[in-house]
């Protein structure tokens, strides 16, 4: 299952990186947990997206674990 994150309109991070959208492939269970992202503000989303990109480039298997930690810190323990 693929989840397409909404484009953060005008975000310099995405413009410089050349991304129009961030695609995250997740299981249905993880998809439900990641829905907490919608509750975060744009600045927080920037840091979550940056963590995904940095981790996925070097350690794909640890990328989701890292992102879960960021979401947990930003949205609260019940989010993840």
Structure tokens at 59: 């350690």
Q: What is the extent of the structural domain holding 6?
A: 2-79
Q: Report pLDDT for 10.
A: 44
- For the stretch 15-53, pLDDT in tens is 555 555 455 555 666 665 666 555 556 667 677 777 777
Global pTM reads 0.30
Cβ burial of 59 (10 Å; 0-12, 13-18, 19+) is exposed
Count of structural domains, the chain: 1
Mean pLDDT of the chain: 61
Alpha-carbon gap, residue 65 to 63, rounded angstroms: 5
């Amino acid at each position: 299952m693929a989840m397409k994150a909404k484009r953060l309109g005008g975000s310099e991070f995405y413009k410089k990186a050349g991304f129009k959208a961030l695609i995250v492939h997740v299981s249905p269970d993880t998809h439900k947990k990641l829905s907490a992202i919608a509750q975060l503000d744009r600045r927080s989303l920037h840091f979550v997206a940056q963590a995904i990109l940095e981790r996925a480039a070097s350690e794909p298997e640890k990328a989701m674990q890292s992102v879960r930690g960021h979401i947990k810190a930003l949205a609260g323990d019940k989010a993840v």
